[in-house]
């Protein structure tokens, strides 16, 4: 038997449950009670695509040091699903702990000799207190939270306060839940010996907030001036449309007339939804849709229209695992190429890569300015991990002096003063023409919007010269976009190094921990987080400035690498892909092991072991 794991404010708890058993709220209660004690947590919900019956896991990373990515492995398994018992027991780190319902005997062969077993007769306790079958199931979850609170030193008052908040307005439910919590707590106090994992009150959370990425992105859309959302339900983006509706009811209702100053339309399919967005934007509204990979596939025709007719549109792509239906409730970063070159013909689209809910808010607002300035589709490339999980992040900030940037819009006064108007005329070399809103002037500034080829003045033509002229101008506009999109974030190693690593999006928290761990091993890497496509010159220079660059992404085919090689004319041999695509959020341990192994293969000697 290895030494039992002993740790305070630094361990991983994983709950194995059955979907539809009512465990989600109890598990969240557990995580948030630790947060209320001032200890940072990172929670990940890994759930199936059916309503109930299949396995689901909820993983809580407790990290006094503030690491917010998945670590990998688990120290305490709360095994509540017989269907996944063997897999769950196998996933516990040696010296870890197994918490289970001991009402019924389990053969000794089902346990591990190197894991400490904590049995609580949850079903027996429930059956003695409740007669209703549903109550027995629901309160069993609260009872195990109470037992865990006693084992780990979680303050009962913190949990009880959260129960009061959770059932506010349903006060009859508060007392029974508190009683179930105390039942588990009291049983554990009377029957269980202490274990080596402890939660101790700290002051490491500060003013940070716990928020889902989809909720944050929806609020960003409101602050970015969006008034129209057209969408079709699809996991994992549906909650963003629902959140946008809630925020609009709060901020987009006229205080005097009580009339809505927003429109939310559930379309018959994804193609119709992006068509509605483009129609609204053509009329001057700021509009968006939220979807996932299958939806982007169905939107291709209208995305091409937005690009070629130069009509602003914003698409929030909350990525999930594909292809086809794939794993609809699992996360990946697998829509990069599909979004970057969406539609047929030669197209290139702006992509933004938020790392957490805070950037979902920031980029959610900025996307509308970019779409208007560039007169094109802008994708905000979130994913299920960010979108549907609650992340601990810094509070959102907003400058009340900030004004919407509508880009090049010719006004009535401009036209009346005799300014030349050509809808696709580039007057200053940045590739972006002027546009007008419908009805700007009774006789001037009108044009025919079409998806077919035309000249600089929107006159239909199929001549090769005007077509090439237009397509080259669109390339100039894409070059202009490099200066407008969020720039990359660079972090140089503490020691000079010839090696670098590039990453993006939801990989960020695990990457931060991995870099620190690799540095402790003497393996130093300069790091760059890419935040947008088109890539700025800084990104290309970063690759060219290192002998080898690791590129960490969560898909099978190294899609960001392909984009970087294609757009930056980079030798593919310079970039070493580190790929994670099993549908679960990437872990720090995975990144550490992959990079360390590959650096060893490159004969990189850790600095601390180097001979002077």
Tell me whether residue 398 is in a domain.
Answer: no
DSSP lists the bridge partners of residue 70 as 587
| Secondary structure of 443-495 as H, E, C letters | CCCCCCCCCCCECCCCCECCCHHHHHHHHHHHHHHHHHHHHHCCCCEEECCCC
Average pLDDT over residues 406-414: 97
**pLDDT tens-digit series, residues 82-102:** 999 999 999 999 999 999 999
Out of 174, 198, 222, pick the residue that ends a domain: 198
Candidates 499, 504, 531; CA nearest to 600 is: 499
In this prediction the pTM is 0.96
Average pLDDT over residues 311-320: 98
**pLDDT tens-digit series, residues 343-378:** 999 999 999 999 999 999 999 999 999 999 999 999
Reply yes or no on whether the pLDDT at 612 is more than 70: no
Out of 484, 511, 544, pick the residue that ends a domain: 484
pLDDT confidence bin for 37, thresholds 50/70/90:
very high
Residues of the chain with pLDDT > 70, as a percent, come to 99
- Per 3-state DSSP, the chain is made up of helix, strand and coil in percentages (nearest 5) of 40, 20, 40
pLDDT confidence bin for 2, thresholds 50/70/90:
confident
Tell me whether residue 385 is in a domain.
Answer: yes
Assess contact for 506 and 530: CB atoms under 8 A. Answer: no
**pLDDT tens-digit series, residues 527-585:** 999 999 999 999 999 999 999 999 999 999 999 999 999 999 999 999 999 999 999 99
The confidence score (pLDDT) of residue 391 equals 98
Reply yes or no on whether the pLDDT at 608 is more than 80: no
Residues 6+ apart with CB under 8 A from 346: 471
**Residues 125, 95: one domain?**
yes
Out of 168, 198, 228, pick the residue that ends a domain: 198
The confidence score (pLDDT) of residue 461 equals 97
Polymer length in residues for the chain: 612
Assess contact for 397 and 444: CB atoms under 8 A. Answer: no
**Residues 79, 129: one domain?**
yes
Candidates 343, 340, 337, 349; CA nearest to 313 is: 349
DSSP lists the bridge partners of residue 118 as 99
Report the chain's C-alpha Rg in angstroms. Answer: 27
Reply yes or no on whether the pLDDT at 125 is more than 70: yes
Query: How far apart, in whole angstroms, are the C-alpha atoms of residue 339 and residue 365?
Result: 19
Q: What angle do CA 34, 35, 39 make, to 5 degrees?
A: 85
The confidence score (pLDDT) of residue 20 equals 86
Which tokens in the block code for residue 387? Answer: 């979108």
Question: To which residue do tokens 């292809």 refer?
Answer: 323
3-class SS at 44?
Answer: strand
Q: What total of structural domains would you count in the chain?
A: 4
**Residues 145, 127: one domain?**
yes
Residue 164: CATH number of its domain: 3.40.920.10
Tell me whether residue 246 is in a domain.
Answer: yes
**Residues 480, 493: one domain?**
no
Residues of the chain with pLDDT > 90, as a percent, come to 93
The confidence score (pLDDT) of residue 1 equals 67
Query: How far apart, in whole angstroms, are the C-alpha atoms of residue 262 and residue 245?
Result: 9
Assess contact for 75 and 13: CB atoms under 8 A. Answer: yes
Average pLDDT over residues 118-145: 92
In Å, how far from its chain's centre is CA 389?
8
pLDDT confidence bin for 50, thresholds 50/70/90:
confident
The confidence score (pLDDT) of residue 606 equals 79
- Strand 390-393 and strand 499-503: pairing? unpaired
**Residues 152, 12: one domain?**
yes
Reply yes or no on whether the pLDDT at 317 is more than 60: yes
The confidence score (pLDDT) of residue 310 equals 98
- Domain ranges, residue 97: 7-198
Query: How far apart, in whole angstroms, are the C-alpha atoms of residue 169 and residue 165?
Result: 9
Reply yes or no on whether the pLDDT at 338 is more than 90: yes
Reply yes or no on whether the pLDDT at 232 is more than 90: yes
**Residues 192, 49: one domain?**
yes
């Amino acid at each position: 038997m290895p030494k039992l794991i002993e740790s305070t404010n630094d361990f991983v708890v994983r709950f194995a449950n059955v979907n539809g058993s009512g465990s989600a709220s109890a598990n969240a209660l557990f995580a948030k009670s630790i947060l209320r004690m001032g200890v940072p947590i990172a929670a990940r919900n890994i759930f199936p695509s059916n309503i109930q019956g299949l396995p689901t896991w909820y993983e809580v990373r407790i990290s006094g040091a503030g690491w917010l990515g998945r670590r990998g492995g688990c120290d305490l398994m709360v095994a509540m699903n017989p269907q996944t018992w063997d897999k769950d027991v196998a996933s516990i780190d040696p010296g870890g702990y197994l918490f289970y319902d001991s009402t019924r005997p389990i053969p000794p062969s089902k346990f591990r000799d190197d894991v400490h077993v904590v049995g609580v007769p949850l079903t027996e306790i429930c059956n003695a207190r409740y007669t209703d079958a549903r109550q027995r199931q629901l309160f069993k979850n609260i009872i195990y939270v109470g037992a865990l609170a006693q084992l780990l030193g979680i303050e009962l008052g913190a949990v009880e306060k959260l129960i009061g908040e959770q059932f506010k307005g349903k006060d009859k439910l508060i007392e029974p839940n508190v009683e179930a919590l105390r039942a588990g707590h009291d049983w554990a106090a009377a029957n269980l010996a202490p274990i080596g994992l402890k939660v101790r009150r700290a002051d490491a959370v500060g003013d940070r907030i716990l928020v889902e990425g989809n909720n944050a992105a929806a609020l960003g859309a409101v602050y970015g001036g969006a008034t129209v959302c057209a969408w079709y339900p699809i996991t994992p983006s549906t909650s963003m449309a629902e959140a946008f509706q809630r925020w609009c009811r709060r901020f987009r209702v006229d205080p005097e007339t009580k009339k809505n100053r927003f429109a939310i339309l559930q379309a018959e399919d994804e193609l119709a939804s992006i068509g509605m967005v483009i129609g609204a934007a053509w009329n001057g509204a700021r509009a968006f849709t939220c979807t996932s990979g299958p939806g982007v596939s169905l939107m291709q025709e209208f995305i091409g229209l937005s690009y070629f007719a130069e009509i602003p549109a914003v698409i929030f792509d909350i990525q999930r695992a594909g292809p086809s239906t794939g794993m609809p409730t699992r996360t990946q970063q697998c829509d990069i190429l599909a979004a970057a070159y969406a539609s047929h013909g030669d197209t290139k689209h702006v992509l933004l890569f938020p790392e957490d809910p805070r950037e979902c808010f920031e980029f959610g607002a900025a996307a509308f300015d970019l779409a208007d300035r560039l007169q094109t589709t802008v994708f905000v490339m979130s994913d299920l991990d960010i979108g549907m999980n609650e992340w601990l992040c810094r509070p959102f900030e907003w400058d009340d002096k900030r004004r919407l940037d509508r880009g090049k819009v010719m006004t009535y006064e401009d036209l009346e003063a005799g300014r030349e108007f050509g809808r696709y005329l580039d007057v200053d070399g940045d590739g972006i023409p002027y546009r007008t809103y419908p009805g700007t002037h009774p006789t001037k500034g009108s044009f025919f919007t079409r998806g077919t080829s035309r000249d600089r003045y929107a006159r239909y033509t199929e001549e090769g010269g005007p077509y090439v002229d237009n397509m080259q101008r669109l390339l100039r506009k894409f070059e202009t976009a490099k200066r407008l999109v969020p720039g990359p974030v660079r972090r140089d190693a503490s020691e000079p190094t010839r090696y670098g690593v590039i990453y993006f999006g939801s990989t960020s928290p695990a990457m931060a921990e991995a870099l620190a761990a690799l540095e402790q091993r003497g393996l130093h890497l300069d790091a760059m987080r890419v935040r947008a496509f088109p890539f700025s010159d800084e990104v290309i220079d970063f690759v060219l400035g290192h002998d080898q660059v690791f590129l960490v992404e969560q898909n099978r085919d190294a899609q960001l690498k392909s984009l970087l090689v294609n757009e930056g004319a980079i030798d593919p041999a310079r970039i070493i892909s580190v790929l994670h695509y099993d549908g679960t959020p990437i872990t720090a341990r995975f990144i550490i092991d992959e990079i360390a192994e590959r650096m060893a293969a490159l004969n990189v000697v850790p600095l601390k072991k180097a001979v002077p």
